[in-house]
Amino acid sequence: MELLRVADDGATAQLLPRPLPEVGVTLAIKLKRRTMVNPGGSSQPPAVGAGSLSWKRCAGCGGKIADRFLLYTMDTYWHSRCLKCSCCQAQLGEIGTSCYTKSGMILCRNDYIRLFGNSGACSACGQSIPASELVMRAQGNVYHLKCFTCSTCRNRLVPGDRFHYINGSLFCEHDRPTALINGHLSSLQTNPLLPDQKVC
């Protein structure tokens, strides 16, 4: 006897760019640009012994950050000129608000996708999904647009279609299992039935 599991947490599937790998593998890090404010209000470094301002140390060069602007990411402070992509040497604070780290490298988005972007696979066919391709998502699974289909009739599910996700299978509204139509799953139900999903 197969145990029927209903996994529907109310999340919606969306047409999105292919997601980058999980945080445990790669960190997508937000950059925060901060302004250094000296006690006197000037942008010049304070004189020795002036006030209680302590200068931050740059994680890149190890020097004191006396610049007016600094970057904060990965729980460390950086000179704007020191936080660079390991591949193209672009100053990351100038080209965006995030950076990626993997295998000891700090990367811009373009180099991250170029180096590691083809590692995603479609949950239906198992083929890789190029980084530039749009995808459909449901219950944490990622699908090619052409593979996001009803398990029974094989019709493609498109944005706006209602569907059910049961035991890793997608069902259109017309082909949903009869247990769902009757509003119960008898003794096979292991999770409470939540509202239907809708593709957005």
98 and 38 within one domain? yes
Percent helix, strand, coil in the chain (nearest 5)?
Answer: 10, 30, 60
pLDDT of residue 153: 94
CA-CA-CA-CA torsion sign (74, 80, 82, 86): positive
85 and 148 within one domain? no
Q: How confident is the model at residue 82 (pLDDT cuts 50, 70, 90)?
A: very high
171 and 106 within one domain? no
31-58: average pLDDT: 54
- Give the separation between CA 129 and CA 19, rounded to whole angstroms: 10
- Give the separation between CA 8 and CA 171, rounded to whole angstroms: 12
Tell me if the pTM is above 0.85: no
- Give the separation between CA 56 and CA 152, rounded to whole angstroms: 61
Q: Decide: 61 and 84 in contact? Cβ < 8 Å.
A: no
Q: Is residue 6 part of a domain?
A: no
Q: Is residue 2 part of a domain?
A: no
89 and 131 within one domain? no
80-97: average pLDDT: 88
Q: Is the pLDDT of residue 14 over 60?
A: no
At residue 49, what is the residue type?
G
Tokens of residue 27, six digits: 């960190």
Taking the CA of residue 113 as centre, how many other CA atoms within 13 Å lie in the half-sphere pointing to its CB?
10
Q: Is residue 89 part of a domain?
A: yes
Q: CB-based contacts of 191: which residues, under 8 Å, 6+ apart?
A: 5, 6, 7, 8
Q: How confident is the model at residue 157 (pLDDT cuts 50, 70, 90)?
A: very high
153 and 112 within one domain? no
64 and 135 within one domain? no
pLDDT of residue 58: 93
Q: Is residue 35 part of a domain?
A: yes
- Using DSSP's 3-state secondary structure scheme, residue 148 falls into coil
Chain segment 126-145, per-residue pLDDT in tens: 898 876 778 888 887 888 89
129 and 110 within one domain? no
Q: Is residue 112 part of a domain?
A: yes
89 and 145 within one domain? no
- Give the separation between CA 70 and CA 18, rounded to whole angstroms: 32
> Total structural domains in the chain?
2
Question: What is the CATH number for 168?
Answer: 2.10.110.10
- Tell me the C-alpha to C-alpha distance, in Å, between residue 148 and each of 13, 163, 170: 10, 11, 8
109 and 66 within one domain? yes
Residue ending a domain, choose from 117, 132, 156: 117
Residue ending a domain, choose from 117, 152, 180: 117
Q: Which domain holds residue 35?
A: 27-117
